[in-house]
């Protein structure tokens, strides 16, 4: 595709390694979201700060994956030097030290930024692994953060809470997508109930990505084919979920700002919240119901 990939005044853009190299010293704040701080220490892209995505959520009530309060987000983002008027770029990778990378760090971080009010976020398509494969420069030098004043503004329209989700999920104009691996969708998993939320179709987040590089999107025609197979059309409200609301950020971003679907929501509570309610059923096997 042509980079940066954008549709009108989009809040999230995918850029390639060439674009980033040309803009390294421009007005761009770059964040490394590799899975472990030692991956960042070992190697990172010039001028990149380390962004630990795991600080974003905490235990609240009986849900272990709720966002921390927005005033805490404001403080942390300010200490990271994030500014509302300065574009942000995220990248991740497998992790040359930890080997723990699953690809979702950059989508989780990008979703979180726009959720809390930033309007100019970039994702490096292919991440640091593509950057390294092309033998572009790396460093061990840490840039110095200039703290900022960041005021978080929560965009509730991007997510859907449990009550509304349960009320509308079976409507004819709604399609629910489970982004987890098929084995979890269909059967036994980490959760207390097996299978998936009734009515949900399985579209694995990883299915949209290059099998050799979890940070690199497949060609647009292949993504559209996967979407068409599941009859996910732009006239529907698309609700994405996964285990804890992290993996599904990839689906959310792709549908919202890559495919330009008008009504996309993320069920942040996901299956972790759903199975905590004793009266909520789940379905096993390959079919939605």
β-sheet bridge partners, residue 159 = 266
Task: Indicate which residues carry an active-site annotation.
Answer: 242
């Amino acid at each position: 595709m042509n980079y940066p990939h954008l549709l009108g005044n989009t809040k999230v853009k995918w850029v390639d390694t060439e674009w980033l190299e040309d803009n390294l010293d421009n007005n761009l704040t770059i964040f490394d979201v590799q899975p472990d701080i030692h991956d960042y220490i070992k190697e990172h892209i010039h001028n990149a700060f380390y962004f630990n995505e795991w600080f974003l959520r905490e235990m609240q009530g009986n849900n272990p994956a709720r966002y921390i309060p927005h005033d805490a987000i404001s403080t942390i983002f300010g200490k990271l030097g994030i500014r509302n008027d300065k574009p942000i770029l995220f990248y991740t990778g497998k992790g040359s030290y930890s080997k723990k990378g699953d690809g979702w760090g950059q989508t989780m971080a990008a979703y979180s930024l726009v959720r809390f009010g930033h309007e100019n976020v970039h994702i490096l398509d292919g991440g640091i692994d593509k950057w390294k494969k092309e033998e572009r420069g790396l460093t061990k030098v840490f840039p110095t953060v200039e703290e900022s004043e960041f005021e978080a503004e929560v965009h509730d329209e991007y997510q859907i809470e449990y009550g509304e989700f349960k009320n509308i999920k079976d409507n004819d104009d709604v399609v629910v997508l489970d982004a987890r691996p098929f084995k979890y969708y269909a059967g036994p998993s980490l959760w207390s109930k097996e299978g998936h939320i009734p009515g949900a179709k399985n579209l694995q987040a990883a299915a949209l990505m290059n099998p050799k590089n979890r940070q690199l999107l497949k060609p647009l025609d292949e993504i559209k084919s996967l979407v068409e197979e599941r009859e996910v059309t732009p006239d529907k409200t698309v609700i994405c979920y996964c285990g804890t609301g992290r993996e599904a950020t990839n689906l959310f971003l792709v549908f919202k700002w890559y495919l330009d679907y008008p009504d996309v929501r993320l069920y942040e509570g996901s299956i972790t919240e759903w199975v905590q309610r004793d009266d909520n059923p789940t379905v096993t096997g390959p079919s939605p119901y």
